Amino acid sequence: MGQSISLLGSTGSIGRQSLDVIAACGMRAAALTAHRDEARLEEQCRRFRPILAVMTDERAAAGLRVRLADTGIRVASGPEGLLEAAALPEAGTVITAVVGIAGLKPTLAAIQAHKRIALANKETLVCAGELVMDAAQAHGVDIVPVDSEHSAIFQCLQGCTDRGEVHRLILTASGGPFYGYTPEQLRGVTLEQALKHPNWSMGAKITVDSATLMNKGLEFIEAMRLYRLPPEKISVVIHRASIIHSLVEYCDHAVLAQLGTPDMRLPIQYALTWPARTAAVAPPLDLLSCPPLTFAPPDEEAFPCLALAKEAARTGGTATAVLNGANEEAVGRFLAGEIGFCDIPALVERVLAAVPAVQAPSLADILEADRQARAALRRLLPGIPSN
């Protein structure tokens, strides 16, 4: 197809699968970025020969320059390098696959450079959704979601020119590895158990978010911003099979669903080829071998992160940035073995109560809310018992 891509976060799970799609579809990777995985980024650069390679970790960037000295590939570093990759003139599309709020400024830089956005970083819209969507509209930029759930909704909305026809968006959730657990049972779970997702192979942070149902809470907020709908028009159901990726119910109660194998290459490919479809990269769905397609309500008592996200969505302003910052910090502590699984929602709840929300925030307000949330959580850590 000749399309040229700047891939932010190429060494992570989404980044690696994006490169599968780029190769299969005959596209070009004009820029590749990573945080500190020198060896993997070198391997990717030697295969895809980008114009620019970026490592946000300065020491890793120095190492990568030595590794790639014989290639002619330019190596940049730090947050500035990430912004350069996002606005690279040779790239028409930017895949934002970096983790967390670190994706916000590069996404805005790509929008300002009039790039098409294949959005795989939900935190960008969670923290600054109105600001980002307004910027995209002002610059005439398409934002096409990569998350499987939002890709499903995006596909089910094709042909819908009037959002007033939408009765509700229905996000599906697998329920994660602890579906059916009671609050008492959850107190004893381990990091190893939390990282064993039943259906998807993902990075550690999003896998933990799926286990707490915070991932679904973040997607709830993302749906509000991406599709400009109020929270009462969005709902969540548990669908263990991960075959139906999400649904749209219209005002006449017709329900459209997008089905497919649980393979992220399918939504990545659609984000890069939309509005066209091309020959499949992901394997086909065999309906005759599918497990039963069942649905259940989420248990918000056992998994309060979803309820906390909905509360932050209703509060609005910087409350969602506070939610996200507190969660990122708490999950990082859980991954480091410093707190227990049930401490994550407990900490996030206390931070939401401690950091006031600012309405109609600027970018500076959003970044400050994120900073305050992380600082508030760190202050709480000595008083939070670990499981």
pLDDT in tens, 230-289: 999 999 999 999 999 999 999 999 999 999 999 999 999 999 999 999 999 999 999 999
Please report the pLDDT score of residue 387 as a whole number. 43
Please report the pLDDT score of residue 315 as a whole number. 96
Please report the pLDDT score of residue 79 as a whole number. 95
Any domain includes 19: yes
Any domain includes 264: no
> What CATH number does residue 383 fall under?
1.10.1740.10
Percent of the chain with pLDDT over 90: 91
C-alpha to C-alpha distance for 97 and 16, rounded to whole angstroms: 10
pLDDT at 383 over 90: no
Please report the pLDDT score of residue 386 as a whole number. 44
Helix (H, G, I), strand (E, B) or coil at 161: coil
Any domain includes 129: yes
Q: Which domain holds residue 109?
A: 4-145
Q: How many CB atoms lie within 10 A of CB 200?
A: 16
pLDDT in tens, 94-111: 999 998 899 999 999 999
Percent of the chain with pLDDT over 70: 98
Among 222, 242, 96, 125, smallest CA distance to 169 is for: 222
Please report the pLDDT score of residue 198 as a whole number. 77
Please report the pLDDT score of residue 2 as a whole number. 58
Any domain includes 166: no
- Categorize the per-residue pLDDT at 203 as very low, low, confident or very high, splitting at 50, 70 and 90: confident
For residues 351 and 306, the answer to whether their CB atoms sit within 8 Å is no
Q: Which of 106, 122, 145 is the last residue of a domain?
A: 145
Mean pLDDT in residue range 155-184: 94
For residue 289, the 8-state DSSP code is G
Any domain includes 287: no
At residue 241's C-alpha, the angle toward residues 240 and 246, to 5°, is 85
How many domains in the chain?
2
Among 167, 196, 165, smallest CA distance to 179 is for: 196
Mean pLDDT in residue range 17-42: 97
Please report the pLDDT score of residue 1 as a whole number. 43
pTM: 0.93
pLDDT in tens, 329-356: 999 999 999 999 999 999 999 999 999 9
Among 10, 21, 74, 2, smallest CA distance to 43 is for: 10
Q: What is the DSSP string of 249-273?
A: EETTS-EEEEE--S-THHHHHHHHH
Please report the pLDDT score of residue 382 as a whole number. 72
Longest dimension (CA), the chain: 62
- Cα-based distances in Å from 56 to 53, 75, 152, 253: 10, 10, 32, 48
Any domain includes 295: no
Any domain includes 283: no
pLDDT at 60 over 50: yes
> What CATH number does residue 115 fall under?
3.40.50.720
Any domain includes 311: no
End-to-end CA distance of the chain: 52
Q: Which of 145, 171, 202 is the last residue of a domain?
A: 145
Q: Which of 145, 178, 211 is the last residue of a domain?
A: 145
Q: How many CB atoms lie within 10 A of CB 105?
A: 17
Q: How many CB atoms lie within 10 A of CB 338?
A: 13
pLDDT in tens, 290-333: 999 999 999 999 999 999 999 999 999 999 999 999 999 999 99
- Categorize the per-residue pLDDT at 116 as very low, low, confident or very high, splitting at 50, 70 and 90: very high
